[in-house]
Structure 1
């Protein structure tokens, strides 16, 4: 992640207000390694102590920015990611059967993955791109991304706002804890897929019969 000190983020928030938080969260949702969540926490604490920012506007603007970034990343994955997986996935060990398995898993579990992925920094960046690359229907993606971003913005906005000045110092340890949790969940998912790959590939073929190809956007 691009490094910003607490002082630098506070300075950016004080100088540019909502624009700082919106810009960083749009970029973070697109996969750029910037501290969007930290900026929201700092800005919310700043709003609670200085009253120069309206917390309702901050939360709404942050959620909207995150959704915009998610949609851009999804569309990039939809139009570019699938082609990359289809043409070059073999270099990553992704056969057509495994690529179809990815489509199937996002069709079946994508809504939950996208929603809860918003709360885990290690997943927040790539999850929208992967949703598009694996052909998750846009309507389901948008519902999951929109609701996840809204709940996330409310929790990480109003929480620090109510806690006040000390909340911004909790951002780093909270982020580390969630990152460790995300890594453990990813390891568990990899182990599960490895042990059940044959069964899941067969399920994917039954659900998506025929040659590998892009799925309808809707």
Structure 2
């Protein structure tokens, strides 16, 4: 592949890498982007989809390579979190006020709500890079994680491939809008998490006096 379609802005910076590396470069960046390391894997996927729209790559292959790389990388991050997450939290958690009690509550929340989080995480920067690690550290059952991981990766790869393939070189404005909405979504998610923690603290605080009350004779 040579002589890319002339993409705008940040998308253009990845054209030489895709020209030289092809599907291998796509798999590498998508994989790293889904396994803790913040590289422009999502952007690379969009560029590859645009290339597919111009006939330079195969659109089905782009989607399948992105799905396989994203799924496998998140699985590796999950295993790392499962094996080392608790040890890291025990060792360093007190620096960020993550006590064993708070970690236990987070673990319980992840077990109950982890699957939808894993499915949606791909579409939000920061969560896309860390969702596998967090799921493993919070002991979300592996079978449940794998199912949600594969499904979420398929949605993510399919959505961006379809958007890039359909929009072609006009992808620039659409991509900037998508990034803007992702940045707006982060504080919303942080607020929802804060509200959940505050609600759990409030219920626990009002339950403790009842727990300490002497039993009636």
Same fold judged by TM-score > 0.5?
yes
For residues 74-95 of structure 1, the C-alpha deviation after alignment (integer angstroms, 9 at most, x for no partner) is: 1111111111112332222112
Alignment of 1:10-89 (within 5 A): 10-49=15-54, 51-89=55-93
Task: Identify the residue that residue 143 of structure 1 maps to in structure 2.
Answer: 147
RMSD: 2.1
User: Given the alignment of the two structures, is residue 192 of structure 1 paired with residue 196 of structure 2, yes or no?
Assistant: yes
Please state if 1:8 is matched with 2:13. yes
Between the aligned partners of 1:45 and 1:104, the Cα distance in structure 2 is 42
Q: Which one of 94, 107, 110 corresponds to residue 111 of structure 2?
A: 107
CA contact (8 A) 1:41 1:168 kept: no
TM-score, length-normalised on structure 2?
A: 0.85
Residue of 70, 90, 99 corresponding to 2:94: 90
What residue ranges of structure 1 are gaps of 5+ in the alignment?
203-218
Contact 1:47 1:54 in 2 (8 A): yes
Partner Cα distance (2:101, 2:134) in 1: 17
Which structure has the larger Rg?
2
Rounded Cα–Cα distance in structure 2 between residues aligned with 1:144 and 1:192: 22
SS in 2 for 1:17: helix
Structure 2 unaligned residues grouped into runs of 5+: 1-8, 207-217
Measure, in 2, the Cα distance between the counterparts of 1:72 and 1:201: 38
Q: Hey, what does 2:160 align to over in structure 1?
A: 156
Please give the per-residue CA displacement for 1:15-49, whole angstroms capped at 9, x wherever unaligned.
Answer: 21111211001001111111111111111011101
SS of 2:192's equivalent in the other structure is helix
Aligned residue pair count? 199
TM (normalized to structure 1)?
Answer: 0.85
Residue 54 to residue 97, structure 1, CA distance change in 2 (3 Å): same
Is the Cα contact below 8 Å between 1:71 and 1:142 reproduced in 2? yes
Give the structure 2 partner of residue 120 of structure 1. 124
